Amino acid sequence: MKRVRTAVLISGRGSNMKALLDAAKDPAYPAEIVLVAANVPGAGGLDIAREAGIETATIDHRGKGSREAFERELHARLLTANTELVCLAGFMRLLTPFFVDAWAGKMLNIHPSLLPAFPGLDTHQRAIDAGAKFGGCTVHFVTSEMDVGPIVAQAAVPILPGDDAHALAARVLVAEHKIYPAALAAVASGKPAPSGAVPTVYNPPL
């Protein structure tokens, strides 16, 4: 079986990246992780990737002159690794049309809310403040508008009385670690979607 060569982009601790690495340890998993790249030197996830024997790269976004200059360097690194799919996993950089177009239909992101509710930052506090009864997470294709692209997978978790953002984030993170590997598998294996539009994983068991 040919496995889809996948790069994971991170900015921090990399727990979603680790979930993808763990899933891809199974030789039957349809994607292999060929590169973990961070825009933040010393990002915690880099150590986890190295320990797992995965190639890593650090491309600091600072001092590059422009967003696009940074992205061109990152893009070149992805091409060097013969990357076919890109997974953003806590990658906290807004992307320009250059990068989004270069990876159109081949780049996924995980976002800690039930999109289209609560795009952007501070999702958990905003969900609590709004009185929402469910929070959750979404894996979607990346398009030029932030947190808007076609949805591949979602999972909902309850918001319980007394939850603060920290408690809700922890509950959502457990779900993130399940749906991201499931979503990547669906995209990498090209499973036809019920809707015909994009491969879809609907509420996988948590």
User: What are the C-alpha distances in Å from 190 to residues 25, 40, 103, 112, 119?
Assistant: 20, 32, 16, 24, 27
Residue 6 sits in the site that holds ligand GAR (CB under 6 A): no
Q: Which string of DSSP letters, residue by residue, matches 49-68?
A: HHHTT--EEE---TTSSSHH
Asked whether the beta carbons of 154 and 137 are under 8 A apart, the reply is yes
**C-beta closer to ligand GAR: residue 146 or 160:** 146
Residue 34 backbone phi and psi in degrees, to 5:
-100, -15
**C-beta closer to ligand GAR: residue 89 or 114:** 89
Give residue 14's Cα distance to chain centre. Answer: 10
How many residues sit close enough to ligand GAR to count as binding (CB under 6 A)?
A: 13
Q: Give the span between the Cα atoms of 118 and 115, in whole angstroms.
A: 6
Tell me the CA end-to-end span of the chain in Å, nearest whole number: 28
Q: Give the span between the Cα atoms of 125 and 118, in whole angstroms.
A: 10
**C-beta closer to ligand GAR: residue 19 or 79:** 19
Site string for ligand GAR, 148-187 (x = CB under 6 A): -------------------------x--x-----------
111 is a catalytic site residue:
yes
The amino acid occupying position 49 is A
Residue of 3, 12, 32, 117 that binds ligand GAR (CB under 6 A): 12
Q: Least distance to ligand GAR from the beta carbon of 135, Å?
A: 11
Residue of 34, 54, 59, 89 that binds ligand GAR (CB under 6 A): 89
H-assigned helices in the chain: 15-24, 44-51, 67-80, 97-102, 123-129, 165-188
Site string for ligand GAR, 96-115 (x = CB under 6 A): --------------xxx---
| Residues 48-77 interacting with ligand GAR (rule: CB under 6 A) | none
**C-beta closer to ligand GAR: residue 79 or 128:** 128
Which parts of this chain interact with ligand GAR (CB under 6 A)? 10, 12-16, 89-90, 110-112, 173, 176
